[in-house]
Amino acid sequence: VQLQACGGGLVQPGGSLRLSCAASGSIFRINDMGWYRQAPGKQRELVTTITRGGIEKYVDSVKGRFTISRDSAKNTVYLQMNSLKPEDTAVYYCKVELRQSDSMYYRNYWGQGTQVTVQR
């Protein structure tokens, strides 16, 4: 199983970016999908998650600005980020809880990270 994240970049404050993360391989089923971020010198923090049923959760600092969504047919999770602020600058990682076709168990998989930089 591989997770390929993309969509990061450099944007000015107030701008928008859309991240995507696609899971590929021998996948039986995907449960929760989510995004984390890690700023320089800080611990990785949870940003948002979405369940298989579509229930979304957000950290307070991004509520109203970020939107998570998923396309189950494509095994892909998205993060639409609007009204970006300099404090959103970080490496963003996707995390997917899934079960492989030859396994009875679910485990977490991480994407490689994509850099988001918000500055003038």
**Residue 102 tokens, joined:** 């030859």
What tens digit of pLDDT does each residue of 64-97 get? 999 999 999 999 999 999 999 999 999 999 999 9
How confident is the model over 3-54, as pLDDT tens digits? 999 999 999 999 999 999 999 999 999 999 999 999 999 999 999 999 999 9
3-state DSSP helix/strand/coil % of the chain, to nearest 5? 10, 60, 35
SS3 53: coil
Rounded CA separation 94/23 (Å) = 10
